[in-house]
Structure 1
Amino acid sequence: MTTHSAKISPGSQVCLHLAVYLEDGTEVLSSFGDEPMRFRIGDGTLAPGLESLLIDLRPGADEQILADGSALFGAHDAGLVHRVPLSDLPEGFAPEPGEVIQFQAPGGQETPGTILSVDKTEAEIDFNHPLARRGLRIHVHLIEVS
């Protein structure tokens, strides 16, 4: 049963709209204007740092939250920056600095990588979360908690 006294806590089932914007206002993702997101806190749908911003919100909450990407997605790890031979990238792909592309990780899951630089034989790719080094504005409208 959902009541207005319910609030988000670990394990809560939630229904909400969520948008993430860069400091310059660029929208990174948004469920506004589409179906709301439905998930359980802790199920891996959202990064744990992002989930932590939702704890204690109650249905009807409409919040704008400023956050540092590293607090939400982890501090930058220099060990996740790699030089990759261009021959390992998809055939015909011309990487551009700043571009974020998906890579297949050894376990089968996809992971994003941000192209930092490109020379004649290699691309330097940062496999840290693409938003980890950014200032962010999070907009959340909580519809339901159970």
Structure 2
Amino acid sequence: MKDLKIGEGTQVTLHFALLLEDGQPVDSTFERDPARLVIGDGNLPEGFEACIHGLQAGERKTFTVPPEKAFGQHNPSNIQMLSRSDFANIDELQVGMILGFTDKAGGELPGVIAEVDERQVKVDFNHPLAGRTLTFEVEILDVAPVSVQ
């Protein structure tokens, strides 16, 4: 199975690094245990998954992934002004803090505190990497058929 290419129905073991435009690392497995994923399981965003389709064990590649293929463009409508009183249970709100909020469907939604004053708090619900062009480096260690259990 050494010639098996990454595609639907495959499990992939790989090392990856995700870097900002300036080369600053966001995440990497190269110094840790490799990642293992099933193609199409949702653990890797579609844009990144598309980059590795067709690769085989032993290949190492670098891809530039534009925002629309990564975490989307920054959307101004995802920034909300909330009342400072909504945060009464938090002693010290700081710009850059990431807090968990509950969306209308009851799911958890992370928000980044963007501004704080006495009356209002600006919260950015965009993904922290939205609007960023990213570099995605991969080293494919193994490609295997998905085993049915």
Q: TM-score, normalised by structure 2?
A: 0.81
Deviations 1:32-83 (A, max 9, x none): 1111001111112111222112111111111111222332122333332211
- Counterpart of 1:93 in structure 2 is 92
- Partner residue of 1:135 out of 129, 133, 145: 133
Per the alignment, do residues 59 and 110 of structure 1 end up closer, same or farther by CA in structure 2, a change over 3 Å counting?
A: farther
Structure 1 unmatched ranges of 5 or more: none
Distance (whole Å) between structure 1 residues aligned to residue 28 and residue 8 of structure 2: 23
Shift of 1:100: 5.6
Per the alignment, do residues 46 and 112 of structure 1 end up closer, same or farther by CA in structure 2, a change over 3 Å counting?
A: farther
Per the alignment, do residues 62 and 42 of structure 1 end up closer, same or farther by CA in structure 2, a change over 3 Å counting?
A: same
- Counterpart of 1:67 in structure 2 is 65
Structure 2 unmatched ranges of 5 or more: 145-149
8 Å contact from structure 2 (residues 72, 131) kept in 1: no
SS state of the match for residue 52, structure 2? coil
Q: TM-score, normalised by structure 1?
A: 0.82
Amino acid at match of 1:59: A
Q: Identity percentage over the alignment? A: 35
- Partner residue of 2:43 out of 42, 45, 64: 45
- Counterpart of 2:31 in structure 1 is 33
Give the structure with higher Rg (CA): 2
Distance (whole Å) between structure 1 residues aligned to residue 122 and residue 16 of structure 2: 32
SS state of the match for residue 17, structure 2? strand
How many residues matched?
142
